[in-house]
Chain A
Amino acid sequence: MTASLALVVTSVVLYSAGLYLLLDRSLTRVLLGVLLLGNATNVLLLASGGESGGAPIYGTTPEEEMSDPLPQAMALTAIVITLGVAAFLLAMIYRSWRLGQESLEDDPEDRIVASGIQLAPDDVNYVGAGPDDIDPDGDLTDGLEDGLVPYGPVEEARP
């Protein structure tokens, strides 16, 4: 099988650009990265079909000149799936924008670990604030901002 160099190069360029965007904290760029990665994979699928040929329709093209229809079918399926997922991602990005978190946040637990705060010993007085503020059920950052005073200097710990 011979693969088209142009297709392979295109797919490599798309992969690198997509990965670069995926590493960004802004969710919109992450979405663009995902789209580029999806297209890179589609091009790769097409390239995996080997040499291009005529339309694979019986009766219009002699059999030996047909291109392989299977990768095209797979790429079509993949395109549809990427479209659906992109729509979902857009909805989710819109939702997080409404909630005031357009970009990826710091992981609150990471921040606590990094700042070296002692997590509640068993006998901490729980009036007001406690380790449940790091509980995923609660609003994570609020607890920190409103001052988990017993646990030390959170503010300084932030980058």
Chain B
Amino acid sequence: MTRVLPPLPVLLPLLGAALTLLFGRHARAQRAVSLSVLAAVLVVSVALLVQADRNGPQVVHVGDWPVTLGITLVVDRLSALMLVVASTVTLGVLVFAVGQGTASDDETPLSIFHPTYLVLSAGVSNAFISGDLFNVYVGFEVLLVASYVLLTLGGTGPRISAGVTYVVVSLLSSLLFLASIGLIYAACGTLNMAQLSERLAELPAGTRTMLQVMLLLAFGIKAAVFPLSAWLPDSYPTAPAPVTAVFAGLLTKVGVYAILRTQTLLFPGGHVDDLLMVAAALTMVVGVLGAVAQRDIKRVLSFTLVSHIGYMVFGIAVASQTGVASAVFYVAHHIMVQTSLFLVVGLIERQAGTTSVDRLGGLAASSPLLAVLFFIPALNLAGIPPLSGFLGKLGLLQAGAQDGSVLAWSLVGASVLTSLLTLFAVVKVWNKAFWRPADQAPRSPEAQEADALMHAGTAPRVMVTSAAAFVGVGLALTVFGGPLYGLTDRAAGDLLDRSPYVSSVLGGAP
């Protein structure tokens, strides 16, 4: 049984993608297949999490090749937690997308959407559970190619020009990753991460640092860490709402996961931790300043997305038990919050015909439910106590204070500032879009057209329910913050100790 479960989060969506391609003309069959596949993946992920937490990392050597020769799948606490969060997000967003699809004849061609979406989910799972650097690359490519298609769905002008930037930047990062894989193989003669963690330590310090920095650059582009983040706010907001939600929630976090895994497992000991701290501080501050300057809700959220990646890098850079545990907690929290915010913005756009704060107004009066759905995750994003964003930030601040160096303290300062500015940015959106009376909002001709077409307040119930469910899950992270933090704490212990991962992969082998 233990050997059956780990490959399923990759296999099931791929099989589902094939099925949905076959059912290309039967929208109902497609929906049934994708929903049941992703629900099954969620169940499997939860089972894996329970197993990994009770019995240690679950390891499968695919095809029974000798250890370190073939592909290894490793599900430890961190991977299992990421799998659970990721499959929750993909399932929930799919429900939202299905609700949107049935309610309107959007120009988005749904027959392509389902297979691509499932392939994306398979790629994300593969990147999370792979125990082999090259297989991580394959996972990245699978999810990236799927994301290229999703981002350019429909092939309209703005989507294509956003897609060009996104595709070229992602390609560059993949090639950098592949080149570093080649160099690592040349230096160590293996790509199995457990074995690498032993062999990399034997390399000369200069070589090791070069390999580490190359990997960090490649993953930094994917995770949108500051100097490498300019592509994100330009490409995400143009995609359809469910696509943006799942990209914003998941894709950057795959990069963060890769940074976390390689930093803790392959390059412990912190040669470039100071560099990471500087990058984290700049990511936070520059990102949030961008958010404050924006006037479109989607762009505000995209910039806060960049900015809050800085918090996770902060935790990784401090590299203490508290730091890593809080970073993992923050990843889970941020995936949920960012996804729910983007879904709610999708609802706003549907209802009001625009997402520009200059033209929105009176939403709190016209649709109180939407206002509540926006308000809770927005405060959560800013880290208002007692919500989960506060818990994660508190842990990070503690880790920074324990570290005690000047850099760590300035990071603490930067993260408090970022938190305040995030609050400022979301409150600005709230005041304009929700709080001010509708008659003070200048109505654009487009908005009036949209009103006439869609009648305010007719967002389909499925979409609202799914967005509400995300907000609920975000609140659940707060309520169950204790047990969740306990889990991430144990995961951080495993990561920093390294021996559970290494010994469960290599077994008795020397």
Of A37, A138, A140, the residue contacting B175 (CB under 8 A) is A37
Within 8 A of A (CB), among B137-177: 138, 141, 145, 148-149, 152, 155, 157-158, 160-165, 167-168, 171-172, 175
Contact mask for chain A residues 9-49; partner B; CB cutoff 8 A; 1 contact, 0 none = 00000000000001000010010001001100100110111
A139, CB-defined interface residue at 8 Å: yes
Residue pair A48, B182 in contact (C-beta under 8 Å): yes
Q: Are A88 and B148 in contact (CB under 8 A)?
A: yes
Bound Cα distance A125, B442 (Å): 8
Once the chains are docked, how many angstroms separate the CA of A107 from the CA of B171? 20
Q: Which chain B residue has the least Cβ–Cβ distance from A96?
A: B160
Question: Chain B residues with Cβ under 8 A from A77's Cβ?
Answer: 134, 138
Is A117 in contact with chain B by the CB < 8 A criterion? no
Flag if A84 contacts B186 (CB, 8 Å). Answer: no
Which residues of the other chain, B, contact A37 by a CB distance below 8 angstroms? 171-172, 175
- Tell me if B164 and A136 are in contact (CB < 8 A): no
A48 to B172, CA, bound (A): 20
Question: Is A5 interfacial (CB 8 A cutoff)?
Answer: no
- Which residues of B, 344-377, contact A by the 8 Å Cβ criterion? 354-356, 358-359
- Residue of B160, B299, B355 with most partner-chain A CB within 10 A: B160
The CA-CA distance from A96 to B446 in the complex, in Å, is 25
Would you list which residues of chain B between 61 and 113 have a CB under 8 Å from chain A?
Answer: none
Question: Contacting A92 at CB < 8 Å: which of B141, B152, B172, B182?
Answer: B152
Interface size range on A against B:
35 or more
- Say whether B186 contacts A3, CB under 8 Å: yes
Q: Is B183 an interface residue (CB 8 A)?
A: yes
Whether the Cβ atoms of B157 and A132 lie closer than 8 Å is no
Instruction: Kindly list chain B residues whose C-beta atoms are within 8 Å of the C-beta of A38.
Output: 175
Contact with A along B106-148 (1 / 0, CB 8 A): 0000000000000000000000000000100010010001001
**A85–B145 contact, CB under 8 A?**
yes
In the bound complex, CA of A89 to CA of B160 (Å): 11
Q: How far is the CB of A18 from chain B (nearest CB, A)?
A: 9
- Assess whether A157 is interfacial by the CB under 8 Å rule: no
In the assembled complex, the CB of B138 is this many whole angstroms from the nearest CB of chain A, namely 7
Closest B residue to A88 by beta carbon equals B148
Q: Which A residues are CB-close (under 8 A) to B152?
A: 92, 95
Which residues of chain A (92-136) have a CB below 8 Å from chain B?
92, 95-96, 99, 101, 104-105, 107, 119-120, 122, 124-126, 130-132, 135-136
Chain B CB within 10 Å — which of A38, A101, A132 has the most?
A132
B234 at interface, CB cutoff 8 A: yes
Interface residues of B in 221-254 (CB under 8 A from A): 234, 237-238
Given the known interface contacts A44-B179, A132-B358, A135-B296, the answer about A88 and B167 at a Cβ–Cβ threshold of 8 Å is yes
Distance in Å from the Cβ of A37 to the closest Cβ of chain B?
5
Bound-state CA distance A16–B507 (Å) is 43
Contact with A along B172-214 (1 / 0, CB 8 A): 1001001101110110010100000000000000000000000
- Cβ-neighbour of A96 out of B148, B149, B161, B172 (below 8 A): B161
Q: In this complex, what residue of B is CB-closest to A50?
A: B186
Instruction: Provide the residues of chain A in CB contact with B181, threshold 8 Å.
Output: 45, 74
Which of B141, B175, B238, B354 has the most C-beta atoms of chain A within 10 angstroms of its own C-beta?
B175
The answer on a CB contact under 8 Å between A92 and B164 is yes
The residue in chain B whose Cβ has the minimal distance to the Cβ of A142 is B157
B402 at the interface (CB under 8 A from A): no
Question: Which of A3, A22, A81, A137 contacts B141, CB < 8 Å?
Answer: A81
A132 touches B182 (CB 8 A): no
Whether B183 contacts A48 by the Cβ 8 Å rule is: yes
Whether B160 and A92, one on each chain, are in contact in the complex, defined by CB atoms closer than 8 angstroms, is yes
Q: Mark contacts of A48-80 with chain B using CB atoms, 8 A cut-off: 1 yes-contact digit, 0 otherwise.
A: 111000000000000000000011001001100
Per the bound structure, the CA–CA distance linking A37 and B164 in Å amounts to: 17
Q: Which residues of A contact B163 (CB under 8 A)?
A: 92
Complex CA–CA separation, A48 to B185 (angstroms)? 6
**Residues from chain B with Cβ under 8 Å of A70 in the complex:** 185, 191
B295 within 8 A of A: yes
Chain A residues near B149: list those with CB within 8 A: 88
Q: Given A88-B148, A107-B234: A126 and B443 within 8 A (CB)?
A: yes
- Which B residues touch A1, using CB under 8 A? 186, 189
Other-chain residue from A41, A45, A92, A135 in contact with B354 (beta carbon distance below 8 A): A135
B465 at the interface (CB under 8 A from A): no
Complex Cα spacing A37 to B174, Å: 11
- Is B182 a contact partner of A45 (Cβ separation < 8 A)? yes
Q: A41-B179, A84-B145, A99-B160 are in contact. Are A130 and B358 (CB under 8 A)?
A: yes
Residues of B within 8 A of A99 (CB): 157, 160
B503 contacts the other chain (CB 8 A):
no
B444's partner among A78, A81, A126 (CB-CB below 8 A) is A126
Residue of A nearest to B140 (CB): A81
Instruction: Tell whether, in the assembled complex, residue B238 and residue A136 are in contact, meaning their CB atoms are under 8 Å apart.
Output: yes
B162 contact set on A, CB distance < 8 A: 136
Query: Which residues in B have their C-beta under 8 angstroms from that of A30?
Result: 168
Q: Which residues of A contact B178 (CB under 8 A)?
A: 41, 45, 78
- A139: chain B residues at CB < 8 Å are 157-158
A136:B158 contact, CB within 8 angstroms: yes
Residues of B within 8 A of A138 (CB): 158, 446
A34, A85, A96, A122: which contacts B358 (Cβ < 8 A)? A122
**Chain A to chain B: the 8 pairs with minimum beta-carbon distance, closest first:** A48-B186, A126-B442, A45-B182, A48-B182, A136-B238, A44-B182, A48-B185, A132-B356
Q: What 8 new A-B contacts, CB under 8 Å, besides A50-B186, A92-B148, A120-B358? A: A45-B185, A71-B182, A85-B145, A101-B160, A130-B442, A131-B356, A136-B237, A138-B158
